[in-house]
Structure 1
Amino acid sequence: MLHLPRASIVLALAVGVVGQGILSPPPESRALQCVLTDAWPSGPGTPLLPQIPPADLQSIMRQVNPANINATIVKLVSFGTRNTLSSQTDPVRGIGAARDWIATQMRAYAAAARAGTTASVEVSGYEQQPANSIPFAVNISNVVGTIQGSEEPTRVYIITGHYDSRNSNVTNFEDDAPGADDDASGVAVAMELFRIMVKMAPPKATIMLGAVAGEEQGLFGSGFFAKQMKAAGMDVQGMFTNDIVGSSKADNGVVDAHSIRLFAQGIPSTATLAQSQARVSVGGENDSPARELARFVDSVASNAFTDMTVRVIYRLDRFLRGGDHRPFLEQGFPAARFTEPNENFAHQHQNVRVDPTTGVQFGDLIEFCDMNYIARVARVNAAAIWSLAQAPGTPKGVSIDTSQLTNNSTLKWTAGSSTSLAGYEIVWRPTTAFSWQAVVPVGLVSQATIALSKDDAIFGVRAVGKNGYRSPAAYPCANC
């Protein structure tokens, strides 16, 4: 067994890999950002190290361009307001003009797709009747670009931002609501990744990158999208909303330009009381599908290649706020929310104005966005969704044998049928640790026994592709 300090291993990995020039990180980069512990735990297997981006993913990250992101946000702000209640037909102002421009841009990207890569763009929606902060019937339209998976087209991974905006009054659709950070920044991330990924060889699973509407009035566009996926029988194994990802400077002056928060729910929204009790009884409340998804993102995206640290937050969302990942969670899909580390609330949900007493500028203006920071957020999203779509799917039907008292632990799962599947690994960690800390390769099997008590550790099973990509781990909780 290895008993080396994890920091030493990570530093050696950074020198050995980054030093070879596979991808030159920015000078200020810290060596392979990740959660560190003092020492590896004693037990079976070998230390689990952060996943290094393969060459195709590195190519995607290199192509993320802050200038493109800036151009997208400038254009979205130019529509004056993108309030859900604003004009659907004015060619230069309002949410309709923004919707049409996004669709035109994304269709141009799809038309430039690499030969053999199937890319399409759909504008879909419905008429929302008066409800909540919608005083009259209004069209809710989403613009979604799809890159079809080459092997498992019904296994889907999604990234969205919301293109609607608001000012101090959510029903004020006449005055300006620039929405640069909230949420042109998230839309710019999704559009930039679509521009790049359509030029790659197709991923093994389907990727969907989109801009949704009606978020400020009640998550209407995302709710429609999630229900679409459920009705179509799509196996959505991961969804991320990027909402307010444009700035790293808080209203108190604190700056954190190299981290992004990822909010991940604990006990699933769809769990029954019995399922919740079963999860709590085995200590699985911190191992929901959403949190396993978040751990995965940390493992593939907290590194020198993104120059970012993913700060996983054990909450559904911030206090008093809500996001477009919630409807996907309510449909039973793993989902999480990216948000900048330090929010400036003078620049969110505010009329554009200068306070005459303090001189403070209010309003969600583009001058407060950091395009290089947004580009780093885009690289985090690229690492997450490409790693998911190129890996085998998350194992299903994972359980742990509790039929007898034993100091060993036997895990079982449903074997996958993909020809790209190389085998499986069991990962484990102490019950108090955030991240998986050791890995045991077990081969192309559907059951394995580990010489470690299930009373003392948390276990997971992940799939390994022949291309080296690995899935998120699945927690063994048959009755959860």
Structure 2
Amino acid sequence: MHPSRRFAVLAAVLLPCAAQVHAQAAPAAGTATPAPPAADVRLDAIARAPSADRIEADIRTLAGFGTRHTLSDTSSDTRGIGAATRWIQSEFERISAACGGCLEVMTVSDTISGETRIPEPTVVTSVIAIQRGHADPGRYVIMSGDIDSRASDVMDATSDAPGANDNASGVAGTLEAARILSRHRFDGSIVYAALAGEEQGLFGGRILAKHARDNGWRVEAVLNNDMIGNTRGITGVVDNTSARVFAEGTRVTETAEEARARRFTGGEVDSPSRNLARYIDRIADRHVPNLDVMMIYRLDRFGRGGHHRPFNDLGYPAVRIMETHEDYTRQHQDLRVEDGIAYGDTVDAVDFDYAAKLTGLNAAVLAGLAWAPPPPANVEIEGAVTAHTTLRWERPDPAQAPGLAGYRVYWRLTTEPQWSHSQWVGDVGEYTLENVVIDNYFFGVAAVDEDGNESPVVFPGAGGSFGDYAP
């Protein structure tokens, strides 16, 4: 290794602390490629762009369909899942018309039957809008919300179930993100998805995940937004300054051989989904005013599920973004008043400003990912029984990353939740950190473009690999 590519670690670097998150160590002498900006300032404007008024209008429209139960009316123009789905499709088409046809709007559907919650043949139809990337269109980042709603009885397809927060808020946020981001041009592709059949068994997510696999999509990230509009919790806490991101640990598709390797190298908390969650936390800290992300090391809430899970089931990086404080009297409840408590998921309980804030978080994450180069591939690490740690990775086809500036190496203590130290290393495929002992830290690599947009950090080995993003 040439001395110009080595890094002398200062004593302070050897003692990382939580307050030094993303602190950059002193650059190596002779580094030829200057570091890009620390962040893309365009993300500030994108994070602030969502309109609470537009989100409110969309939530009121969706709640106004009475019920959006998967088994509800499909022929009415004013009530039921059919009317809601057609309205969402028309909104995506309206957004596309405003950007000169920049969105490919389509439905993705399948007939489901013989299931506990869908016993008779039923067409489950989701609506998606694809904003194709100009340099790397086969790489996808996805934002989703759920179309359907339910009452207390999951099989009740006729009672009113407005589903204002669960999950008109997620669909409204997805529509608003499409309005904002369709004004920009990105390297990678963005998918805005309104998924059906969630309450009956995550069928919309299953269908779209299968569609992605069958069509060879390189899915880099899935942001499932399920309830982003409630700020008053069942405990009485009112909080509009935090959000939760649920992310599973090791991939469910991990092989026995990969699990054996992980036992000796680590990676239990560095799956692509976990490092996607860290990326979201970082975007919030840098670009979304007055919002703190709570990363939760669990697939979903205890014993519960969401539409990111079908993507995780196929090995794709996927997380759930949602409010921190839930009110269970407003979820899966018939409309009623008992003992002075109003039950039911109605519009009056939604905080539209908060939904706009979480929409801004999503939009900034989508933009940062779609502008950034693809994550480094085949990241490897070595350094056992030495004083130094060396990482290697593969660079993408130049056509897929026209703005690639280079790479940043990250490390942190094994007990730290967030990457605490980093070093800009330039446009190289290998780097050695001198006097940083491999036994004491976790390591990763991110690709960076000329504007400062970064890919998620990639942990070495199969457990952390974003790879070609295919299962």
Q: What TM-score do you get using the length of structure 2 for normalisation?
A: 0.89
| Structure 2 equivalent of residue 31 of structure 1 | none
| Structure 2 equivalent of residue 125 of structure 1 | 109
| Structure 2 equivalent of residue 199 of structure 1 | 183
Larger mean CA deviation between 459-468 and 69-78 belongs to 459-468
Change (3 A) 1:386 1:2: farther
Counterparts of 1:461 and 1:192, CA distance in 2: 32
The equivalences for 1:302-321 within 5 A come to: 302-303=285-286, 305-321=288-304
SS at match of 1:343: coil
Q: After TM superposition, give the deviation of residue 63 of structure 1 in Å.
A: 2.4
SS at match of 1:302: helix
Residue ranges of structure 1 left out of the alignment (5+ in a row): 7-35
The answer to whether the aligner puts 1:102 opposite 2:88 as a matched pair is: yes
The equivalent position to 2:395 in structure 1, one of 415, 435, 450, is 415
Counterparts of 1:307 and 1:265, CA distance in 2: 26
The letter of the residue matching 2:421 is A
The equivalences for 1:143-222 within 5 A come to: 143-200=127-184, 202-222=185-205
The equivalences for 1:396-435 within 5 A come to: 396-401=377-382, 405-417=385-397, 418-435=401-418
| Structure 2 equivalent of residue 261 of structure 1 | 244
Counterparts of 1:113 and 1:217, CA distance in 2: 35
Change (3 A) 1:3 1:150: same
Q: After TM superposition, give the deviation of residue 439 of structure 1 in Å.
A: 1.2
Change (3 A) 1:350 1:338: same
Asked whether the 8 Å contact 1:266–1:286 carries over to 2, the reply is yes
Change (3 A) 1:146 1:351: same
Change (3 A) 1:215 1:301: same
Counterparts of 2:114 and 2:39, CA distance in 1: 47
The answer to whether the aligner puts 1:63 opposite 2:46 as a matched pair is: no
Task: Note the aligned Cα RMSD (angstroms).
Answer: 2.2
The answer to whether the aligner puts 1:379 opposite 2:360 as a matched pair is: yes
Change (3 A) 1:277 1:140: same
Counterparts of 1:171 and 1:416, CA distance in 2: 49
| Structure 2 equivalent of residue 353 of structure 1 | 336
The letter of the residue matching 1:75 is T
| Structure 2 equivalent of residue 439 of structure 1 | 422
Change (3 A) 1:242 1:435: same
Change (3 A) 1:209 1:410: same
Change (3 A) 1:121 1:308: same
Q: Deviations over 1:121-157 (max 9, x none)?
A: 1112011113121121111111111111011000100
| Structure 1 equivalent of residue 220 of structure 2 | 237
| Structure 1 equivalent of residue 34 of structure 2 | none
Asked whether the 8 Å contact 2:280–2:365 carries over to 1, the reply is yes
Asked whether the 8 Å contact 2:23–2:421 carries over to 1, the reply is no
Change (3 A) 1:359 1:271: same
Q: After TM superposition, give the deviation of residue 303 of structure 1 in Å.
A: 4.2
Asked whether the 8 Å contact 1:53–1:300 carries over to 2, the reply is no
The letter of the residue matching 1:111 is A
The equivalent position to 2:63 in structure 1, one of 53, 77, 80, is 77
Change (3 A) 1:43 1:160: closer
Asked whether the 8 Å contact 2:379–2:392 carries over to 1, the reply is yes
Change (3 A) 1:352 1:43: closer
Counterparts of 1:41 and 1:151, CA distance in 2: 29
Q: Deviations over 1:367-421 (max 9, x none)?
A: 110000000000111121111111011111001125x521111111111222221
| Structure 2 equivalent of residue 141 of structure 1 | 125
Counterparts of 1:286 and 1:394, CA distance in 2: 18
Change (3 A) 1:38 1:150: closer
SS at match of 2:439: coil
Asked whether the 8 Å contact 1:399–1:478 carries over to 2, the reply is no
Q: What TM-score do you get using the length of structure 1 for normalisation?
A: 0.88
Residue ranges of structure 2 left out of the alignment (5+ in a row): 1-9, 28-36, 465-471
SS at match of 1:225: helix
SS at match of 2:153: coil
Asked whether the 8 Å contact 2:24–2:422 carries over to 1, the reply is no
Q: After TM superposition, give the deviation of residue 281 of structure 1 in Å.
A: 2.2
Q: After TM superposition, give the deviation of residue 253 of structure 1 in Å.
A: 1.1
Counterparts of 2:404 and 2:225, CA distance in 1: 30
The answer to whether the aligner puts 1:251 opposite 2:231 as a matched pair is: no
Q: After TM superposition, give the deviation of residue 438 of structure 1 in Å.
A: 1.2
The letter of the residue matching 2:70 is T
The equivalent position to 2:323 in structure 1, one of 340, 358, 363, is 340
